[in-house]
Amino acid sequence: MNHDYENRVHEIGNHDGSDSFVRTDSQSDHWIHSKHESAVGIDAPRKPRVLIADGNATVRKLIRWALRDDEYEIVEASNGPDAYVLATESPEPIAILLDANLGGGMTGHDVCRSLKDDLQFCKIPVIMLVTIGSHEEISDAVEAGADEVLSKPIHRDELNIRIRSATRSQRESPASIDIESVTLTLAHLIAIKDGYSSGHAEQVANYAVAFGKTLGMDHENLRLLRFGAMLHNIGKVSIPDAILEKTTALTPRERAIIHQHPRVGSDICVSLKQLEPVLPIIRHHKEHFDGTGFPDGLRGDQIPLKAQIVGIADVFSALTNDRSFRRAKTKLEAIEILKHRVIQGMHDPKLVEQFCQMILADSLPAADTPNREANLETSFAPIVSSSLQHST
């Protein structure tokens, strides 16, 4: 290797396509390509994969060189959709270098959000590449979920340091299991015990995260909201199948057993340090705004916000799906029931109003929404007792 040449290349090009690196001779391009090709030979053992996504081919080439790609399998994308496809292919990359201004209808921020919102891919470290490193650029990258932010031109040594820093958690001992892995494992346990709870938990998580975004939650809180929602029914593993599958009204004793599942779920997860941030969601998603809920009788703002969000999403999901003891309600019927529960003191009126507005905006044609909302404000359909007979 020509070490003099290596030492003279210090910086990687700017997003505008200008070259702020030193090109010493015409051999440089050939050297980069041949190095990359030899690094992924057929007989070579699998190397850690790194994805480079930038619309500027020269920038991609120099990042590839700066990463010393004899250590990595390098894959490249020139636009957002291709970057997302490569990020989600097997084997997953150990790190993604993602230009914030990718084209193709999907920016780097869009790709990052999509990955971080997916339980399967959210743990892949994303290093966002920005143009000048302004406060606004950094803030946008962090809001999108980026793990690191680098401004162009990028120094080679800094790039390698950031790669090592971003991937450190993946090199730690197996005892250092992350929250995503624990959540997926326990969610699978729920699926084995109760098939309904599995699909229900995923839907509750989707509703909860969508609502969290509506409320302006940041990426980290949205992650915790998703994990807590996925595990909110974990305590049901302790409930006998005969009760979970019952098609008639629950007896007082059976209802008391059902009411224990938030506490049992919290007790199951309390010894897992990774799940500590989501314990309040698991334990308190059945609390009522007026203090009549369970297990601790919390009221008002004593109930953690994320637990309230999951509680509302939990009820809405349960109402809009078929159960063993009743048919699914329409979304409008479920909204009516949610608002009736507000009158009964079960939920924060403002949160339910905002949640219902989100559902209506997503479900109804724009021209229909005002009239439907007005009708819902002034009238409620009769509440069928069986709709709330079984706790979700």
Q: Where are the domains of the chain?
A: 3-171, 179-388
Predicted pLDDT of residue 273? 82
Predicted pLDDT of residue 194? 64
Q: Answer for the pair 154, 163: CB distance below 8 angstroms, yes or no.
A: no
- Longest distance between any two alpha carbons in the chain, whole Å: 83
Predicted pLDDT of residue 264? 93
Helices and strands, number each (H, E), in the chain: 19, 5
The tokens of 224 are what?
A: 């915790």
**β-bridge partners, 97:** 52, 127
Distances (CA, A) of 176 to 23, 169, 171, 172, 271: 43, 8, 10, 6, 14
CB contact burial 269-289 (16+ within 10 A = b; e otherwise): beebebbebbbbbbbbbbbbb
Which of 286, 275, 305 has its CA nearest to residue 236?
A: 286
CA distance 179 to 281: 15
Predicted pLDDT of residue 169? 55
CA distance 131 to 342: 48
CA distance 285 to 208: 12
CA distance 50 to 135: 27
DSSP conformational letter for 232: T
Predicted pLDDT of residue 272? 85
Which of 258, 252, 255 has its CA nearest to residue 239?
A: 258
Predicted pLDDT of residue 29? 35
Predicted pLDDT of residue 119? 75
CA distance 375 to 377: 5
Homologous superfamily assigned to 179-388: Hypothetical protein af1432 (1.10.3210.10)
| Displacement of CA 282 from its chain's centroid (Å) | 17
> pLDDT tens track of the chain, all 392 residues?
444 333 333 333 443 333 333 232 333 333 333 333 444 444 445 788 999 999 999 999 989 888 865 678 999 999 999 999 999 998 889 999 999 999 999 999 999 999 988 877 888 999 999 988 788 888 899 889 998 888 888 888 888 888 887 776 555 444 345 677 788 778 877 777 665 555 788 899 999 999 999 999 988 899 899 999 999 999 988 888 888 888 888 999 999 999 999 999 999 998 888 899 999 999 999 999 999 999 999 999 999 999 999 999 999 999 999 877 789 999 999 999 999 999 999 999 999 999 999 999 986 443 343 343 334 333 333 333 334 445 45
95-99 and 73-77 as β-strands: parallel, antiparallel, unpaired?
unpaired
Q: Which strand (E) or helix (H) includes residue 53?
A: strand 49-53
Which of 361, 368, 190 has its CA nearest to residue 264?
A: 190
Which of 171, 178, 205, 177 has its CA nearest to residue 190?
A: 205
Pick the CATH number of 3-171 from 3.30.390.30, 3.40.50.2300, 3.20.10.10, 3.40.50.620: 3.40.50.2300
* Torsion (CA) 309, 148, 273, 172 in degrees, nearest 10: 150
All residues at 6 or more sequence positions from 175 whose CB lies less than 8 Å from its CB, including other chains? none
Which of 149, 130, 93 has its CA nearest to residue 14?
A: 130
Predicted pLDDT of residue 59? 92
DSSP conformational letter for 250: P
Residue type, 344: Q
**β-bridge partners, 73:** 49
| Displacement of CA 110 from its chain's centroid (Å) | 13
Q: Which strand (E) or helix (H) includes residue 348?
A: none
| Displacement of CA 355 from its chain's centroid (Å) | 19
DSSP class per residue in 206-230: HHHHHHHHHTT--HHHHHHHHHHHH
Residue type, 249: A
CA distance 192 to 210: 27
CA distance 203 to 230: 9
